[in-house]
Structure 1
């Protein structure tokens, strides 16, 4: 049986930190699916379609990575698609506390799905989608924060 891990997030936008986690997770699993989880009540900079396109371009060089989107509980998606694991990136202890709570509730919903935490590589530990948007707003260089495919669309928003 092929192993499937799901890496969920809003990816508004996808960052080099996300790609770092995806690249490393793809060495462990047969398939890593980046799952754009969207909430129609949440305000985002990019539309679902824009984010899906940016993600697909950003992961084109990663043959084991696939892309999908979902509205609803991530654990339900993972269960419905016979995933074995959810991948979560950790930048620090603040992320860890929140992610542990989410992992605990997910285990209640499906004890067969593991949550695996990957520490973000040092050079990406400071990157968040919020920081990226602030950098773009103030016309800062983005090439060390986001994939090349995201730079122009991000600059166009500001």
Structure 2
């Protein structure tokens, strides 16, 4: 079984993230969604809340596992006995940032590979930050996130 890791803060998980995960399942037999603690990002939702939300979105999907982690992503990848990361890229700024990260990952774990997936065109503009901003100002986020996530945003804000 070939397992791939898709890591992020998922604060909250959006339809764009879901699209990347589902597309990754076309290439790999199992996707581990690695929810990063990321204390410096000052997330809206706690790590446990974000894990629970991602689990709810993928409830019943046997080939998707959701796990939280803190520390270095390469250490998590080693623990999961994988060597492959999926990374989503929306913009050239994302590419520059992710290229730098993937170079560092290979320095720390030479056998690791990063695969970059552009978003589906309808999600090219979508980010967790944008969704949080829209929700914060009372906007309708139902086109951007799973209904459960929209409800959680409403409760939180």
TM-score of the pair, normalised by structure 1:
0.95
* Gaps in structure 2 of 5+ consecutive residues: none
For 1:44, what is the secondary structure of its paired residue? coil
Match of 2:37 in 1: 38
Superposed displacement of residue 140, structure 1: 1.1
1:57-136 equivalence runs, <5 A: 57-60=56-59, 62-136=61-135
Match of 1:16 in 2: 15
- Contact preservation (8 Å) 1:3, 1:84: no
TM-score of the pair, normalised by structure 2:
0.95
Superposed displacement of residue 41, structure 1: 4.5
- Contact preservation (8 Å) 1:87, 1:116: yes
For 1:116, what is the secondary structure of its paired residue? strand
Cα RMSD over matched residues? 1.1
**CA offsets 1:98-148 (integer angstroms, 9 cap, x no match):** 000000000111121110000010101111111001100111111111111
Count of residues in correspondence between the two structures = 157
* Gaps in structure 1 of 5+ consecutive residues: none
Q: For residues 42 and 16 of structure 1, what CA distance do their matches in structure 2 show?
A: 21
Q: For residues 60 and 15 of structure 2, what CA distance do their matches in structure 1 show?
A: 13
Q: For residues 126 and 13 of structure 1, what CA distance do their matches in structure 2 show?
A: 15
Superposed displacement of residue 48, structure 1: 1.2
